[in-house]
Amino acid sequence: MKPRDFRHRKHYPGLTGNPFDRVLHRALRLERVPAPLIFLLLTLLAALASLGRWQAALIYALAFYIDYLLLALLPETRISYGPVKPPALMLACLRLLFFWLPIYPLLLIQGVGTLLVIYGFYIEPHHLQISYQRYPISGQSGAAPVRIAHLSDLHIERLSFREEKVLQKLEEIRPDAILITGDLLNLSFLEDPTAIQDARAFLTRLHAPEGVFFVSGSPVVDLPDLVPAILNGLPLIWLKHEAKTLHINGQELTLIGISCSHKPEDDFRDLKSVIPEKKRGTQILLYHSPDLAPLSARLPVDLQLSGHTHGGQVRLPFIGALFTGSLYGRAFQAGRYLIGNTTLYISRGLGLEGAAAPRVRFLCPPEIILWEIFPASKQEHGIAE
């Protein structure tokens, strides 16, 4: 993939003022509308979509009210803590797409819709997966494999079942090191003292023999004055435009941490100033967004670990992510890519988008990536890649 020039772009994903950011914050104004007015609006929508059929109006109204109730119960069940009214109206609009169906198919479709709401809002956001990845290296024969856990986009609102599962899984896999590629808090909870306290409580419990390393994510999430307050006194190593060499199991690994500005050309200059002039073992770039990869692949970067896209959070069969928040659009979604000689991995992340965005995942479960970096012969190296 050839790098594109974004220097004259007016708005960048991950920063304030871009179209997605404006939509999310304008939609958040709906949360100020009194609940009775929202229920009145939902009732009117049900009546209009029924085409004069009282049975259809009843089906729609019941589906709308159930959606609202399910969204309102999410904080009570420690699932997620987002707004109720914007996603309730969004779900209502999606349900209205089937207004033309006869009564019984309409009833079936709306019932399936309710099951999908339960799955997407209640089940999949906590269906944490371990994604196992292997990266072969050459030139260090006799070295034992190194196991590295990659976390991204924590977006902590409160300590929920998801964070507890993350800690449990890390205890089970016992990585040599843990790498975090940004976005500690949810966008809606940046000034929330409880969220900050819970984030500190979560990070305090992260541990690995060779350390826990962090790079900051989107500037609107990992605020310059907020991250130091969260990390103060914690046993985390914050890589701020710097490289750190580790020796683990006979292997030499160089971690290169670049703070993300979402402006690839600017961050590429920082990367060039930091990356060792002489290659030091396996060089791993920690950078929040995948958008730097077409440029970082020009340098001796073996592995770039990123996040930011959440994998789209909602994916459709055969289509993939509907939206990624990447300058390269849907070209960068989630998973493993090979760009030149650089392997890029985009994490689906752990948390959920903030502001008015629905706290939902569909066909895009949260993940911890466990990397095994292992010595291999030249022949094995080619096969493994």
pLDDT for 379: 47
Domain with CATH 3.60.21.10 in the chain: 129-384
Burial of 60 (0-12, 13-18, 19+ CB in 10 A): buried
Give 28-78 pLDDT, tens digit per residue. Answer: 999 999 999 999 999 999 999 999 999 999 999 999 999 999 999 999 999
Global pTM? 0.94
Give 286-305 pLDDT, tens digit per residue. Answer: 999 999 999 999 999 999 99
**What are 78's two structure tokens?**
């420690």
pLDDT for 277: 82
Residues facing residue 156 across a β-bridge:
185
Q: Where are the alpha helices (DSSP H) in 233-308?
A: 264-274, 293-296
**Cβ–Cβ < 8 Å for 363, 316:** yes
Element (H, E) at 92: helix 85-95
**Cβ–Cβ < 8 Å for 85, 38:** yes
What are the angstrom distances between the C-alpha of 14 and each of 19, 117, 218? 11, 27, 6
**Cβ–Cβ < 8 Å for 364, 321:** yes
Segments of the chain scoring below 70 in pLDDT: 139-142, 377-385
pLDDT for 37: 97
**Cβ–Cβ < 8 Å for 143, 114:** no
**Cβ–Cβ < 8 Å for 268, 299:** no
**What are 267's two structure tokens?**
């961050």
Q: Where are the alpha helices (DSSP H) in 189-330?
A: 193-204, 227-231, 264-274, 293-296
Q: What is the CATH number of domain 129-384?
A: 3.60.21.10
